[in-house]
Amino acid sequence: MANFGYTAGYPVLSTLIFLPVIGAFAIGLIKKEKAGLIKVLSLITSLLVFAASVPLFIFFDKTTSNMQFVEWYSWIPPFNIDYHVGVDGISVLFVLLSTLVTILCVIISWNSVKDKVKEFYMALLLIEGAMVGVFCSVDFFLFYVFWEAMLIPMYLIIGVWGGPNRLYAAIKFFLYTLVGSVLMLVGIIALYLHAGRDFDIQHLANMKYPLSMQMWLFWAFFAAFAVKVPMFPVHTWLPDAHTEAPTAGSVILAAVLIKMGAYGFLRFSLPMFPDASRAMAMPMMVLSVIAIIYGGIVCLAQTDLKRLIAYSSVSHMGFVTLGIFALNVQGMEGGILQMLNHGIVTGALFLCVGIIYERTHSRQISDYGGAATVLPVYAGLFMLFTLAAIGLPGTNGFVGEFLILLGGFTANKAAGAIAATGIIIGAGYMLWLYQRMFFQSVNPKLEGFSDISAREFITLAPMAALVFWIGFYPDAFLSFLHPSVQAIINRVQPAAGGNAVADFLRLFA
Amino acid sequence: MDHLYLLIPALPLLGFIINITLGRGLIKGKAHLVAIPAVFLSWAAAMYTVAQVAGGTIVSRDFYTWIVSGGFSVSVGFLIDQLTAVMLVVVTTVSLLVHIYSTGYMRGDKGFYRFFAYLNLFTFSMLMLIMSNNFLQLYFGWEAVGLCSYFLIGFWYEKKSAADAGKKAFIVNRFGDFGFGLGVFMIFLAFGTLHYGPVFQSAPGVLAGKTVMLFGLSVPLATLISLLLFCGAVGKSAQLPLHIWLPDAMEGPTPVSALIHAATMVTAGVFMVARCNPIFSLSPLAMAVVGLTGAVTALFAATIALVQNDIKRIIAYSTISQLGYMFLACGVGAYGAGIFHLYTHAFFKALLFLGAGSVMHSMQGELDIQKMGGLKKYMPVTYWTFLAASLSISGIPGFAGFFSKDEILWKAYSAGGIGILLWGLGTLAALLTAFYSFRLFFLAFHGKFRGGHELEHHLHEAPKSMTVPLAILGIGAVAAGWVGLPSFIGDALGIGQPDKFGAFLSPVFVNVPGGAESAVSGEAMVTGLSVAVGLLGILIAAYMYMWKPETAKALKQKLPGIHKVLWNKYYVDELYNFIIVKPAFWTARNFIAGTSDGKVIEGVVNGVPRAIDSFGRKLRKLQTGMLQDYAAIMAFCIFAFIAAALVFWKAMGG
């Protein structure tokens, strides 16, 4: 079996998966009284993992849709299960996002997590390993192991270190995800048997399945992925989970975890069930548009800061799925970029919420007001992420939303046009939130609080840099996507090839 | 020197970056020493570039590729032709003067550095907008100037009214941008590119004869694209029915009103329509809509201005009205006349606002003209410059506004057809314009001071940093129009090419139908009539507010209904509140968040929440809070999971 994983002189992907696990075990050996040492070790681990992931960005070959940095070993031969990892243009960006976000989560939790410090950082590092594993797996069994493995520490982070209603939120998160996953497992097994006992994702993605089989498999996978995204109407676990989770939990959820649903559509549903995907594109676009509008309107009614941002995620992820199911190049690339953008921007917004919560211990928007006077630097950064969230040109949000709406509009004029009203609603709830928190006279409850510290600034700075980097030079990231997206398009739209211009001219001829 | 034009936007951007990062801790009250040189050098580079354009050198160059995806590709790039050159003159000149003025006006404000940072950012954004060579960068500038407007309207954010006004401006504009964005999509889908060159060149061929089915109607593609683009212009340039944000925008500091909400940003809509003339000109229907929207807005806003007492709001309504004239011009194909008015308006309207700022500075922030009076003797420079601007906007011969407004009305009249109607509306609005402008002028500067002794004691002329920009703009308000003389005056004076401005711009508007000299005679008659109504308006204002002040009160009492409607601005804000804002929040609170997400969706999708509740209660009994329990439950779940999978596997015959 071929091993190309040593492009950078070491097995990059295995390092990214197992180094955090080793770190977690090492922390397990430390006495729990030594909280300082635990934190430092976590930070070092996460920094090392990130450093180890940088070669992915540098040495990635952007001219091919093939898996790269591949490591392939036989694992459980009787069942044809392999340890087979690799990244293509789509997954590589999310591996990098995972390794970056973990560092920020370690730093942001430095002072706010005081209870069971050891277990917290162990859980955090274990999540990191599992997240990377999910994005790298090229073997279905391996994928499923990581997919489920990720749930456990996440469940613990919400259920142990969360807010007052954490238990409800954690179980709800777990049950929703579990129900979806079970159906996916059924689908995986069906594929395995159909292919003659094969778990190889690349192999499975190049087979042809009868339409009826494609259809029910599409819905089985849909159950798992739609919950994760989350798509309307299975989104209700997200506001609870986000609201109750500690800051690091919310950041991981927003930045990486809910991306796995959309990633699942791209990696499995579209290439494996192209005919079903094409047939179901319209219902998917309808659900996406509903999520955009509905999620946005619900935001207008929120009084809880974290809940508002959670619902805005529903709206933003509606854009992502709209782009994906537009089934053309612009929509799909926009959708993937927007996954990254949402990870950066909403991740950063949750970091911001964590920063202010550490001071006020309140999530109620009405407990704020005039914060721009008290914490001007913080207010400036919050404004930047607000602008990125509402897709202002020059920020990353614009590039993603623009491509999605262009793709969505190309695929279906009505869907694109209705979805575009989401940008009006988005501006409405975000600017209103900003006004209530930062403008007008200073709420007495805020008086005397200090502006953000250097540590807090460090967590937000990389996100701010990414907002502008992607905003002004998106090619640095979009260029990773082109061949991989084209490969999916070729599979789903063999005839049209995703040529938007030709479609349009036919329509109006 | 080939790339000198890059400095024009780059320097204000640099100024912004320096002030926003170092302003709070380091630069503080010296922020203007960064901001002003940046804009001054940008102005100098712009003047050099404009001279190059006048010499025949058109810049058209991509800077770098911004977004690529599939068949879509767009660059950051620059097009500096005659139209951009005119805008460069307006934007950099007014911006520079407003920067200088602000050193006096904003002195001592605790947000001093922030103010200059935003002004620089605005200048950068506006320059990116006018210098763009494609629709997406135009959109970038379009949104970025809107953002700066949001920042600057809400500059004094501690005030709720200011924060509200900023938000309102942003959101109302997003309604227009929604249409504008769809227009951009349509352009890409129709042309396969967003770059001006290929789009405008191939527009007649690509759009000819193509129609789109829309709600059962067959609409020409050119009309649809034009109207969608125009939606953006209606928002940005505060035309009916999206005009409501501009009067509220007066919450911002007055230099901002002069620069952004009078001279530059709000004219972006006119600039965009003029830039897209090859598309608009293909659709007579769209042209008619543009012209009518402009003419009706011009009249509508002028009527509101008749009765207002807030000095800045009167000028704001007059801005809406004057922007209406510019669209009126575009609607009859007289893009050059529209841009000419944009250019003269920038001088006299910035002057009006800065003059108003000078008055407020002296009046300790008082805005009510009923409490002013007799300011002439305290503030001579402000008085004389304000007079020049008022005469200019009233269309008195010799002053800048006369030449541009006259050209618009003449072009409308000579276009015939709907143009006659537009001319009629425009002439009526001209009467009202002269009246409300001089109502303001007489109430503020003549008669007796009505603000009390305490305040009268403080009255003083503004410092040099403010009066010098006033004087320079005053020269502009008089002389800026001399580059576009009407032909009958040119003939009388024996000038070979009287309309130098129009001739300079003519390469941009080559394929405009009816652009050639009209055969209709009577330019002198049209001009005479508009001068007459201007003088009449001034006379009525003088009679009612200087010579016989009691007539104004009597008239108000005689027509209480009309006064009330005008005073309340036709209740448009109340209408929107009733049909959009309230229903949206009501739906969000009562229907969606209350009922559907809380009960219906969770209830219908599954019984999960209730199951969780009971599950949770049982768990709580099991000594919860302990990690081991969670781990045990997790292990159990995983185990059950694998068992289920294995059973299934067997059942499938694995």
SS (H, E, C) A344-407: HHHHHHHHHHHHHHHHHCCCEHHHCCCHHHHCHHHHHHHHHHHHHHCCCECEHHHHHHHHHHHH
Among B188, B584, B641, beta carbon nearest to A300: B584
Instruction: Check whether B416 has a pLDDT greater than 60.
Output: yes
Query: What's residue A509's pLDDT?
Result: 37
Residue in A155, A244, A298 to test binding to B, most B beta-carbons within 10 Å: A298
Q: Averaging pLDDT over each range in A499-503, B413-417, B486-490, which range is the top one? A: B413-417
A403–B67: do the CB atoms touch at under 8 Å? yes
Q: How confident is the model at residue B624 (pLDDT cuts 50, 70, 90)?
A: very low
Query: What's residue B421's pLDDT?
Result: 93
Instruction: Check whether B495 has a pLDDT greater than 50.
Output: yes
Q: How confident is the model at residue B463 (pLDDT cuts 50, 70, 90)?
A: confident
Nearest-CA distance B567 → chain A (Å): 28
* Least confident residue range of A360-369, B148-157, B217-226, B628-637: B628-637
CA-nearest residue to B595 within chain A is A298
Instruction: Check whether A341 has a pLDDT greater than 90.
Output: yes
A440–B157: do the CB atoms touch at under 8 Å? yes
A302–B593: do the CB atoms touch at under 8 Å? yes
Note whether B589 contacts A: Cβ–Cβ < 8 A.
yes
Instruction: Check whether B622 has a pLDDT greater than 50.
Output: no
Average pLDDT over residues A43-53: 95
A440–B66: do the CB atoms touch at under 8 Å? no
- Rounded to whole angstroms, how far apart are CA atoms B558 and B554? 6
B594–A333: do the CB atoms touch at under 8 Å? no
Note whether A498 contacts B: Cβ–Cβ < 8 A.
yes
Nearest-CA distance A80 → chain B (Å): 13
Nearest-CA distance B130 → chain A (Å): 16
Average pLDDT over residues A52-59: 92
A 313-352 residues inside an 8 A Cβ radius of B: 328-330, 333-334
Nearest-CA distance A54 → chain B (Å): 24
Are the C-beta atoms of A489 and A497 separated by less than 8 Å?
Answer: yes
Query: What's residue B365's pLDDT?
Result: 83
B615 contacts on A by Cβ (under 8 Å)? 171
A461 contacts on B by Cβ (under 8 Å)? none
Strands B72-80 and B59-69: antiparallel
Are the C-beta atoms of B395 and B426 separated by less than 8 Å?
Answer: no
Average pLDDT over residues B510-526: 67
* Least confident residue range of A171-180, A459-468, A469-478, B36-45: A171-180
Query: Does residue A481 or residue B583 have the better pLDDT?
Result: A481
Query: What's residue B608's pLDDT?
Result: 53
Are the C-beta atoms of A134 and A147 separated by less than 8 Å?
Answer: yes
Provide the angle, in degrees to the nearest 10, between the axes of the packed helices A211-228 and A274-300. Answer: 30
Query: What's residue B620's pLDDT?
Result: 53
A 283-312 residues inside an 8 A Cβ radius of B: 294, 297-302
Instruction: Check whether B654 has a pLDDT greater than 50.
Output: no
Instruction: Check whether A132 has a pLDDT greater than 90.
Output: yes
Q: Averaging pLDDT over each range in A35-44, A69-78, A163-172, which range is the top one? A: A35-44
Q: How confident is the model at residue A502 (pLDDT cuts 50, 70, 90)?
A: very low
- Rounded to whole angstroms, how far apart are CA atoms B217 and B219? 6
Average pLDDT over residues B227-241: 93
Cβ burial, residue A65 (10 Å; 0-12/13-18/19+): middle
Query: What's residue B376's pLDDT?
Result: 87
Among A406, A475, A478, beta carbon nearest to B185: A406
ipTM at complex level = 0.90
Query: What's residue A212's pLDDT?
Result: 87
Are the C-beta atoms of A155 and B630 separated by less than 8 Å?
Answer: yes
The SS3 of residue A162 is coil
A405 contacts on B by Cβ (under 8 Å)? 181, 185
Q: How confident is the model at residue B618 (pLDDT cuts 50, 70, 90)?
A: low
Extract the tokens encoding B579.
């049909």
A 52-81 residues inside an 8 A Cβ radius of B: none
Q: How confident is the model at residue B110 (pLDDT cuts 50, 70, 90)?
A: confident
Provide the angle, in degrees to the nearest 10, between the axes of the packed helices B464-479 and B400-415. Answer: 40
What pLDDT digit, counting tens, does each position of B117-155 carry?
A: 999 999 999 999 999 999 999 999 999 999 999 999 989
Note whether B185 contacts A: Cβ–Cβ < 8 A.
yes
Query: What's residue B516's pLDDT?
Result: 45
Query: What's residue B612's pLDDT?
Result: 56
Query: Percent of chain B having pLDDT more than 70?
Result: 89
Query: Does residue A30 or residue B617 have the better pLDDT?
Result: A30
B231 contacts on A by Cβ (under 8 Å)? none
Angle, CA B331 vertex, CA B325 and CA B337 arms, to 5°: 55
Note whether B164 contacts A: Cβ–Cβ < 8 A.
yes
Note whether B143 contacts A: Cβ–Cβ < 8 A.
yes
* Least confident residue range of A84-88, A408-412, B180-184, B558-562: B558-562
What pLDDT digit, counting tens, does each position of B344-390 carry?
A: 999 999 999 999 999 998 888 888 888 888 888 889 999 999 999 99
A330–B72: do the CB atoms touch at under 8 Å? yes
Query: Percent of chain B having pLDDT more than 90?
Result: 52
CA-nearest residue to B639 within chain A is A148
Quickly count: other Cβ atoms within 10 Å of residue B249's Cβ.
Answer: 28
Instruction: Check whether B603 has a pLDDT greater than 80.
Output: no
Note whether A119 contacts B: Cβ–Cβ < 8 A.
yes
Q: Please give the helix or strand (H or E) that residue B77 lies within, else none.
A: strand B72-80
Closest-CA residue to B473 (of B340, B351, B315, B346): B351
Q: Averaging pLDDT over each range in B42-56, B367-381, B542-556, which range is the top one? A: B42-56
Quickly count: other Cβ atoms within 10 Å of residue B132's Cβ.
Answer: 24
B67–A402: do the CB atoms touch at under 8 Å? yes
Nearest-CA distance A150 → chain B (Å): 12
Among A176, A438, A478, beta carbon nearest to B69: A478
Query: What's residue A505's pLDDT?
Result: 47
Note whether B588 contacts A: Cβ–Cβ < 8 A.
yes
The SS3 of residue B65 is strand
Average pLDDT over residues A393-412: 93
Residue type, A21: V
A504–B630: do the CB atoms touch at under 8 Å? no
A501 contacts on B by Cβ (under 8 Å)? 71, 189, 192
B592–A294: do the CB atoms touch at under 8 Å? yes
Note whether A399 contacts B: Cβ–Cβ < 8 A.
yes
What pLDDT digit, counting tens, does each position of A316-335 carry?
A: 999 999 999 999 999 999 99
Average pLDDT over residues B611-630: 52
Instruction: Check whether A267 has a pLDDT greater than 80.
Output: yes
Query: Percent of chain A having pLDDT more than 70?
Result: 95
Among A155, A186, A387, beta carbon nearest to B147: A387
A 423-462 residues inside an 8 A Cβ radius of B: 423-424, 427-428, 431-432, 435, 438-442
Query: Does residue A378 or residue B569 have the better pLDDT?
Result: A378
CA-nearest residue to B147 within chain A is A392
Average pLDDT over residues A256-278: 92
Query: What's residue A445's pLDDT?
Result: 86
Query: What's residue A470's pLDDT?
Result: 95
The full length of chain B comes to 654
Are the C-beta atoms of A224 and A316 separated by less than 8 Å?
Answer: no
Nearest-CA distance B159 → chain A (Å): 5
- Rounded to whole angstroms, how far apart are CA atoms B97 and B354? 10
CA-nearest residue to B165 within chain A is A435
Note whether A470 contacts B: Cβ–Cβ < 8 A.
no
Mean pLDDT of chain A, nearest integer: 89
Average pLDDT over residues B330-356: 93
Quickly count: other Cβ atoms within 10 Å of residue A373's Cβ.
Answer: 18
DSSP string, B507-576: GGGTT-TT-SPPS---HHHHHHHHHHHHHHHHHHHHIIIII-THHHHHHHHH-HHHHHHHHTGGGHHHHH
B69–A370: do the CB atoms touch at under 8 Å? no
Query: What's residue A430's pLDDT?
Result: 92
Q: How confident is the model at residue B613 (pLDDT cuts 50, 70, 90)?
A: low
Query: What's residue A501's pLDDT?
Result: 47
Note whether B212 contacts A: Cβ–Cβ < 8 A.
yes
